[in-house]
Amino acid sequence: MARDPLLLVHLPKTAGTTLAQLMRYHYRGGAFKGAGNVLSRPDQAEPRLRTIARKPRFRAAAGHVSFGLAEQVLPEATFVTILREPVARTLSQYRFLTASGDGAGLVPPWLDGDVGGLTLTEAFDRGYLLDDLQTRMLCGLRSPYDELPDDALERAQANLRDRFAYVGTTERFDELLAALNLALGWPAAAYERAREGAIASTHPTDEERDSAAERNRLDRELHAYAGELVSERVDSAVAEEAAVIREATARLNGADAVRSDARVERALEEAALVRAAYEERKQKAKVKRRRET
């Protein structure tokens, strides 16, 4: 049985922002809280998690927090995470960092935020990018900047298998969402992937791909293992729910209908409600900022 809070260990550039937005919608009315960011504000992550632990009204949370820290503060939480093919994930983070020019919330406070002109190799060598980041975030370290233990991969695999109620991959995101819908009673909803755009369309060089692969040897094995877990946990009900989400999402993004039934139509209607809630929240935040200035 799921226990509160549902906590997303959000690995950067894996579709975690998309899932976090849906979680915020399903746990609206003050039941959702950001869990912090160990990458750029490590001193704030533990206090945020302890606030969540103290206040039962927070039933869901998401943040760039390491599993090691989150488990220490919230050992009874229901954990969820998403992994991504590590070369694609690394290159996406690199493009995101350099396009932002200031690190976009993924640079530690002890480094200069001016990352606009760095090559991929420089970004790794100077600490703006971490090798095997997904393993670092999942093996039990409190901070991803700590030294990796020799058995980091084995620890991360064990945590995924034994401590995470829900494991997904970016490539099979619909199946993760379907599993959450069925287990937690969420209505199916089409979705728009968050933070996609021109950055995603940038073509990396062969040298960048080779460098990213070399820096993520453990993550490549961990991602493959996550895919095995997804396959083991997908049954016929999850597969059918995922098919509904996939069709509705394609329709939402302009594709022609392949199937049209009541469930797909409801998923499209639910997506409109998610979007309306997001716009309302954004407008309230805008008004609040104006009052504070």
* In a domain? residue 114: no
Query: pLDDT tens, 93-138?
Result: 999 998 877 766 899 999 987 787 899 999 999 999 999 999 999 9
The one-letter amino acid at 275? R
Query: pLDDT tens, 252-292?
Result: 988 887 877 899 999 999 999 999 999 999 898 888 888 88
Full residue range of the structural domain in which residue 173 is found: 6-85+129-197+217-292
* In a domain? residue 124: no
DSSP class of 157: H
**pLDDT the model gives residue 199:** 47
* In a domain? residue 276: yes
* In a domain? residue 92: no
Q: What share of the chain is helix, strand, coil (3-state, %, to 5)?
A: 55, 10, 35
Average pLDDT, the chain: 93
Report the CATH number that the domain containing residue 10 is assigned in CATH: 3.40.50
Confidence at 71, pLDDT banded by 50, 70, 90: very high
**pLDDT the model gives residue 293:** 75
Query: pLDDT tens, 150-165?
Result: 999 999 999 999 999 9
DSSP class of 177: H
Query: pLDDT tens, 34-51?
Result: 999 999 999 999 999 999
Question: What's the whole-model pTM score?
Answer: 0.94
Which residues, in sequence order, are CB contacts of 83 under 8 Å at separation 6+? 11, 14, 134, 167, 168, 169, 170, 219, 222, 223, 226
Give the phi and the psi of residue 114 in degrees, each rounded to 5. -80, 95
Number of domains in the chain: 1
Instruction: Record the tokens describing residue 1, joined without a space.
Output: 């049985």
Provide Rg for the chain, Cα atoms. Answer: 19
* In a domain? residue 95: no
* In a domain? residue 187: yes
Instruction: Record the tokens describing residue 53, joined without a space.
Output: 């632990």
Query: pLDDT tens, 179-238?
Result: 999 999 999 999 987 655 444 446 889 999 999 999 999 999 999 999 999 999 999 999
* In a domain? residue 99: no
Task: Check pLDDT > 70 for residue 250.
Answer: yes
* In a domain? residue 152: yes
User: How many Cβ atoms are within 10 Å of 76's Cβ, its own excluded?
Assistant: 9
**pLDDT the model gives residue 273:** 96
Instruction: Record the tokens describing residue 216, joined without a space.
Output: 């993520």
CA 7/CA 164 separation, integer angstroms = 10
